[in-house]
């Protein structure tokens, strides 16, 4: 409801934007400079920009409503922080842990078999392609496979995978 009041206070008269009331400031400045040069007048110091918002008028019309809306948002944000983080400053509460508990375990990357792609047989490569496992290999490994088979090893990883899959399927 408060937002609606702010928008209502800032609406244009008759809700119509008239671009003829707001000339292009850059173009107007250019014309003033040309006029001053052509007529040997002094160069103007600052351009007049009618597109700059009238802050006093905005504050007069909707300042009170904007402040109330800001207070509501601030209150809602503090409640959200309390609910999701448990503290007003946004930091999370540390979980109490007994000393007997093990610390949280780190995730370990699954190890691949020690074989490189270019060292695999065609059957093994077909198996890798069938399980969509080719994307798990590094770009360098895929490039090594392609170059060992006499194929172009340039491009993005997706292109390299497509080229390798195509070769494996055809072979």
Which of 4-18, 22-36, 46-60, 114-128 is predicted with the least confidence, judged by mean pLDDT?
Answer: 4-18
Identify the CA nearest to 169 among candidates 141, 117, 127: 127
Question: Are residues 78 and 132 part of one domain?
Answer: no
Say if 145 falls within a structural domain: yes
Give the pLDDT mean for 147-155: 87
Of 37, 62, 85, the position where a domain reaches its end is: 85
Q: Read off the pLDDT of residues 99-144 as tens digits, 9 standing for 90 and up.
A: 556 666 665 554 455 567 777 878 888 888 877 778 888 889 888 8
DSSP-derived secondary structure letter, 39: T
Q: Does 127 lie in the same domain as 70?
A: no
| Residue 104: inside a domain | no
Judgement on whether residues 56 and 128 belong to the same structural domain of the protein: no
The secondary structure element, H or E, covering residue 63 is: helix 55-85
Segment 67-92, tens digit of pLDDT: 888 899 899 999 988 888 876 555 55
What's the helix, strand, coil split of the chain in %, to 5? 60, 0, 40
* CATH (domain of 69): 1.10.1600.10
In a domain, 111, yes or no: no
What's the domain count of the chain?
A: 2
Please tell me what DSSP assigns to residue 117. G
170, 164, 171, 159: which is closest to 128 by C-alpha? 164
pTM greater than the 0.75 cutoff:
no
Judge contact between 61 and 10, C-beta under 8 A.
Answer: yes
Residues 136 and 77 reside in one and the same domain: no
Same-domain check for residues 21 and 81: yes
* 62 and 126 within one domain: no
Domain ranges, residue 35: 2-85
The DSSP code for 13 is G
Distant-in-sequence, close-in-space partners of 168: CB < 8 Å, separation ≥ 6: 122, 125, 126, 129
106, part of any domain: no
Residue bearing the bigger pLDDT, 62 or 116:
62
Integer CA distances (angstroms), 80 to 56, 73, 86, 101, in order: 33, 10, 9, 31
């Amino acid at each position: 409801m408060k937002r609606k009041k702010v928008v209502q206070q800032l609406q244009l008269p008759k809700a119509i934007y008239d671009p003829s009331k707001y000339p292009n400031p850059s173009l107007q400045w250019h014309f003033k400079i040309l006029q001053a040069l052509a007529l040997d007048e002094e160069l103007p110091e600052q351009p007049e920009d009618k597109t700059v918002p009238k802050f006093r008028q905005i504050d007069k019309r909707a300042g009170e409503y904007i402040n109330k809306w800001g207070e509501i948002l601030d209150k809602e944000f503090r409640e959200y922080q309390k609910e999701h983080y448990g503290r007003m400053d946004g930091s999370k509460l540390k979980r109490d842990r007994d000393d007997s508990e093990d610390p949280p375990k780190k995730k370990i990357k699954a190890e691949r078999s020690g074989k490189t792609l270019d060292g695999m047989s065609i059957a093994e490569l077909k198996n890798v392609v069938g399980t969509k496992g080719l994307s798990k290999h590094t770009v360098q490994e895929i490039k090594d496979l392609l170059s060992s088979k006499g194929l172009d090893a340039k491009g993005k990883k997706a292109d390299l995978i497509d080229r390798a899959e195509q070769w494996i399927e055809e072979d």
